[in-house]
Every structure is written in structure tokens, then in C-alpha cells.
Structure 1
Amino acid sequence: MAINDDAIACVRRIFNVPNNYKVMFMAGGGTGQFAAVPLNLSAEGKSADYCVSGTWSEKAFKEAKKFGNSNCVFSVNKFTTIPGESTWSRDKDASYLYYCDNETIHGVEFPFIPSNEGDFANVPVVADMSSNLGTRIFDVNRFGVIYATVQKNLGPAGCTIVIAREDLLGRPRSFCPSVLDYSQTSKANSLMNTPVTYSVYMTKLVMEWIEDNGGLSQMENDSKAKSQLLYDVIDSSDGFYSSVVDKMFRSRVNVVFRLKDGDEQLEAAFISAAKKNNLLSLKGHRSVGGIRASIYNAISLKMVEKLAQFMRDFQKSN
């Protein structure tokens, strides 16, 4: 219980969580939250708006359809960009607007928080920050609910951090399972059932490490520097390497790229040569192929410098 209290206090300090927000640790990962969000926030007879910018928001959108009406606010042929907000098809009476802040598979990251002003002042913004929570500063007050699985930047797999505004709690759908009910979880201080103790404890230690190493501002500076190293190599390679994502929306934590317009044999050679240089897990997701460098908080600038130099050397020899 003491570890749990300390971990919750860490979340509040690091992310500057206001007093009118509840902090919870839940199980079930992001997939569990795909269901938990509509089960807790969708009102009978109302629709929910979804930004579908990649695989994970697409999965969340499909899951939400099981529990009520859901509206896709924009559609793109390929997950390489985010259309301007003025083109989105939003509902001012929607239960909430949902988006995935960073799409790990396609390497697309939101550089802005969707609007919750004007016609949409009463529409809570819900963000899946599973892959970039802990890598930059943001204003919690702009959101109704934020959730993040911890295994990318904050700890070992197991627990999911949920930050939810108090006024949104207490109105779950009648068929919402207790284990996914935000209000019950909050009342029990995340101890409604036996928690994923080890994951919570390790997450607490990692958050303390973040505090001891410059806080979110330093994590943000490091994230920008690491990703820029790789994008500089890509952009200066005269087409040998290419990013498929529009520059404005390139992810800082998942650098996705192709070699010579998707030459799969060359990409296989790249991955094999990288492995011999102890540069691992660079193969793109099986659904999209290519190369993906995931540079979460645990990956140091020195490690990324090694990858950048390898990329330059590989280009010269090929």
C-alpha cells in the first residue's frame, strides 16, 4: 500500500496533476482501456468522436463501436499524416474526443492537443499516451482522461496509468465490469483487487529516476535530440533512406523509415548487419515492414549516435 501511494504521488509530481484529477493504476493494458473509455464516458444516445491516425486508434475505434455509436472525425488513405483540425468532422455534443498521441507502428505523433474550446468546450479530450508519456511536458488540464501503459518509457509491462478528471467519474454504463470502472478503481485507491505489484513498484523507481535526471524537461530535450539525429541521417541520404511520415507529424520515439523506396532485400541486409553491430529490434512492425527505431527513455543519446553512424556507414557500403 505504501509503494502504491508513493507511485501515485510520483505521477502527480512529475506530470503536475491537478487536485481535481484522480490517478489510478489499472491492469489490462491499452486494449483494456479501449473498452474502459467508452464504458466509463459514453452517454446513452450520444456518439463518441475518434481520431483514427494509425493502428492503435483504429483498434480503439473498433472496440468502442461495441458499446455505442462512434464517429471517425477524419480518414486518411495511409497513416502518414494528420489532417488539419478545420477539416475534422466533429460533433459538439459528443461524449468525448479520443486520439492516440503517438502511433508506434506508423511513426505518427501529434504535435498538438486537439481543441476543447468554442463549440467543443464540453467535449472531454481522451488521449492514449502509452508510447510517449514521460517524454515531454504537457498540460493535464487540457484533458478529460489520459491513459498510458507503462512498458515503453516508465516501467515493465503490467500496469496502466490512468489520469481522469473527477467530474467524469461515477457514470459508467450499467454493463461496465467493476474491474474497468474508473469510479470503483479510484475509490479503492487502485487496490480493488490484487494489483500488478512488481510493475507498480518498478514504475515508481523509474519515475524517481526521471525526477533525479532532470524531470520531463530533460526527457523532452533528450527525445528531440535523439530523433533529430536519425531524421538528419534520413533527410541527408539523397533518398537511400526515406521517411514515409510528413515532417510535421514524425514521431520522436518511433523513427520509421524505408531503404531505397522499400527494397526488402536491402532492408533485410540492413537488419542483419545492424544485429552484428549489436543494434537490435530494428525490424518494422510485420503489418508495415521497413525499419523502426524505437528510442524510448531507456535508449541513451550515445546508443542513438551509434545507430546514426551505422546508418551512414551502411549507406556508403551499399
Structure 2
Amino acid sequence: MTKRAYNFNAGPAALPLEVLQQAQEEFVDYRGIGMSIMEISHRSKEYEQVNDEAQSLVKELLGVPDGYQVLFLQGGASTQFAMIPMNFLKPGQAGGYVLTGSWADKAYKEAKGIGETYVAATGEASGFRRMPALGEIDVQPEAAYIHLTSNETIAGSQFADFPDTGNVPLIGDFSSDILCRPTDVSKFSLIYAGAQKNLGPSGVTVVIVRDELVERANKNLPTMLRFDTHAQSKSLYNTPPVYSVYIANLVLKWIKATGGLEAMERINRDKTKLIYDAIDGSGGFYRGLVEPDSRSLMNITFALGSEELEAQFIKESAQQGFVGLKGHRDVGHMRASTYNAVPYESCKALADFMNDFRRRNG
């Protein structure tokens, strides 16, 4: 194999090399059954074992309390933007949305077309350079739920902690930072995350949902859009994204073998510090786009002094094997996505390149 790229793509994103190698070994013949995992029935004992094991690993790694289920759904986080208000917005109640950037805004706009909503907090005044303080979140006692986005992939911001919303269910979109650090799941009634950033390939969405919330969900919906459909069938109501769940299972095992979420957080902080130090120590050559107390462990955003300089940075970095450093088309500039599977060595190489580029162009 030739040298692997320094992959900083925002999603689909880097996967652990060990996972890819094991999947390669098992691709044609899964554990001696004479078939690929992609060829077997989702009702088979082999796949049910993968499904059950992956659900158990999510619970184990996150310390999910009793009274929750782990579901593997399809349609990405974008489908959850609609499923959540369809299931949980009741007449006379409003869903509160914390607006922190592009993805939170998409979830809010989807819900507005389904039921009553209100803005529980917003970071708009800062240009979404910081997350709202927990005390700024308006938790109305009669709200159907409060929805927040734990990490804004495009802006590069992340909540350091989460609010206590009392009896009002808290729902979190964790698509770009699930499993990057320990999380108190008990604060949430529902957590969802598209797998393609930190957990596996695209095609599967993980949902961690409290049983009592499922029981309260709207039953007058199309079957596939009801949470109770998937909870009652252990995510096997229809044909699941078998290969995506299989890879997610391998990634979960890799995280456990690495030392769990405490170890993942330590590694993530060490490797992102390399890049943030390159930004902060550049004397203004690089400019961070998020306030320090809201900086993400998963998506590092920064700008250079001109569009021409940024174009040169992208060109030269690509020549050195760096992939995915161009910022999202909506905001431009630079973005390095440093998900769990991005090695420390890749972040060190990027920091070294940034320092060298500054010395040559500053």
C-alpha cells in the first residue's frame, strides 16, 4: 500500500486503519460462512449478533443508563430533523431550538414546518463564534423538548457541557462528536448521530432514546417514521444498512480497545492542541474562527489573510498529501476535521506544514 493520505475530510471521514484492514480480510468470507456480510440475511444469527453487539457497545462505551434503547436507523441526521418533531411535537406545545450554526438551523427550519417552535437560545449575535452559555437557554416548562447540536461541523464550535432541562426532554444532534469524549447520557431523552463522521461509513444513524419518550411518541405516522416501530423490532423492522452497522461495530471495538472514551478524549485533546497552537502562535497569520471556550475537538476552523493566500495553502497542502482542508462551501476558509480515527501523526504533520507555510509566506 502506498502512503495513506492525511485525511481531514468532514464526512464521510477517516476510519481507523485497523478497522479497514479487518473489514478487508473479512470482505469475501465473513467468519468462515462462505459469504460476505453484505450477502447474508439481516434475519440470520450472524447479522443479529453484529446488530446486538454494536448496540451493547454503544451502551457500554457511553455508560447509557437503564431505560434507554439504541437504534440503528437510516436517512441520516437530516431525517431525524423531521422525525423528532413529527413524533414529539404535540398540539399546544412548542419545541425549543438552540441555534448554534448551520446544522442547528436546518433542524429548526424542518421543525417549523411541522409544528410550533421557539428559539431557546442563539449564537447569531456573535456570528456563531461561540456556543450560548447554559444559563442563556430558555427552557419553557411546557415545552415539548429542547433541541441542541452538540458540535457544529461547519463553524467548528462545540458545547463544553450540557444544560439540565428538568422535566423537559433534552434532544441532542451528536453527529460530528459522538464518542469523542465521555458524555452524561442521562441528561438527554434522545441523542442521534449520523455515523459517517466519527463512527463508521454513511448509511446508518445511531439513536439513543429513553423508553418513556418512545411511549409518548405520535402513533399516527407512517410506519417507518415512528420511533416505536424501530424500538419494538430492535432496528430490524426492515432491511438495515448491514455493512454500515458491521463497520460501526468494528469501530466501537476499536474505541474500546484504545481505552474507551476517557482515552479518546485525551488523544483528541493532544492532537487538536497541535493545530490550535499553530493558529494561536502564528502572530495573526492564521485566525481562529471560534472563541477559545467554544472550540471544537472535532472540527478546527481558521482563516488566512487573503483568498489568494488561502488558495495557495490549499494547493500546497494537497501536494503534500493533505485532503479535506478547504472549508465548507457556505463559509469558506479552512477546516481540519480531526475525528477519532484521524491519527496524532496526521495532526502533527498538519501543524508542521502550517508553521512552515507561515514562515515562507508571513
Q: TM-score, normalised by structure 2?
A: 0.84
What per-residue deviation string (whole Å, max 9, x for no partner) do you get for residues 95-121 of structure 1? Answer: 1100000000000100111222xxxx1
Indicate the percent of aligned positions where both proteins have the same amino acid: 40
Q: Give the distance between the partners of 2:67 and 2:299, measured in 1 at CA.
A: 33
Distance in 2, Cα, partners of 1:205 & 1:87 = 39
The number of equivalent residue pairs is: 312
- Corresponding residue for residue 231 of structure 1: 276
The structure 2 residue matched to 1:57, chosen from 83, 104, 122, is 104
Structure 1 segments of 4 or more deviating over 6 A? none
Counterparts in 2 of 1:289-300, with a 5 A limit? 289-300=332-343
User: For 1:283 and 1:176, how far apart are their aligned partners in 2?
Assistant: 41
SS in 2 for 1:296: coil
Among 116, 127, 130, the residue aligned to 1:81:
130
Distance 1:305 1:316 in 2: 17
Q: CA deviation at 1:275?
A: 0.5
- Match for residue 71 of structure 2 among 10, 21, 24: 24
- Residue 283 of structure 1 pairs with residue 288 of structure 2: no
Alpha-carbon distance between aligned partners in 1 of 2:207 and 2:132, rounded to the nearest angstrom: 27
> 1:185 Cα shift?
0.5
Q: Which amino acid aligns with 1:194?
A: T
> What secondary structure, in the 3-state scheme, does the structure 1 residue paired with 2:192 have?
strand
SS class of match (1:273): helix
Distance 2:88 2:190 in 1: 9
- Alignment partners' CA distance in 1, 2:50 and 2:289: 43
Q: 1:43 aligns with which of 86, 90, 109?
A: 90
CA distance in 2, matches of 1:251, 1:84: 15
| Residue 37 of structure 1: how far off its partner (Å) | 1.1
Task: Give the letter for the 2:293 counterpart.
Answer: M
Mean CA deviation greater in 64-73 or 282-291: 64-73
Which shows bigger deviation, 161-170 or 172-181? 172-181
Q: Distance in 1 between matches of 2:84 and 2:205?
A: 13
**Within 5 Å, which residues of 2 pair with 1:29-178?**
29-75=76-122, 76-77=124-125, 78-116=127-165, 121-178=166-223
Higher normalized contact order (CA 8 Å, seq sep 6+, divided by chain length): 2
After superposition, the C-alpha distances for 1:102-155 in whole angstroms (9 at most, x for unaligned) are 000000100111222xxxx11011000010001100111111000111111111
Task: Write out per-residue CA displacement over residues 251-292 of structure 1, whole angstroms, 9 at most, x where no aligned residue.
Answer: 1110000012xx111000000000111011100000000000
Q: Is the 8 A contact 2:157 2:294 kept in 1?
A: yes
Supply the distance in 2 between the matched residues of 1:126 and 1:254 (Cα, whole angstroms): 21
Is this contact kept in 1: 2:95–2:144, CA < 8 A?
yes
Matched residue, 1:265 = 308
* Matches of 1:149 and 1:30, distance apart in 2: 5
Counterpart of 2:229, as a letter, is Q
Further displaced range: 214-223 or 54-63: 214-223
Runs of 5+ consecutive residues of structure 2 not aligned to the other structure: 1-47
Query: Which whole-Å CA distance do the structure 2 matches of 1:52 and 1:80 have between them?
Result: 12
Q: C-alpha distance in 1, partners of 2:209/2:180?
A: 20
Q: State how 1:239-254 maps to structure 2 within 5 Å.
A: 239-254=284-299
Offset, 1:38: 1.1
Aligned twin of 2:233: 188
CA distance in 1, matches of 2:300, 2:212: 37
Paired with 2:132 and 2:184, the residues of 1 have a C-alpha distance of: 23
Residues of 1 paired with 2:245 and 2:278: CA distance? 38
State the alpha-carbon separation in 2 of the partners of residues 291 and 42 from structure 1. 38
Write the deviation string for residues 68-100 of structure 1: whole angstroms up to 9, x where unpaired. 111111231311112323333331210110000
Distance 1:223 1:317 in 2: 29
Counterparts in 2 of 1:113 and 1:85: CA distance versus 1, 3 Å:
closer
Structure 1 residue 16 displacement after superposition = 1.3
**1:184 Cα deviation from its structure 2 partner:** 1.2
1:169 partner SS: helix
Residue of structure 2 in register with 1:309 after alignment: 352
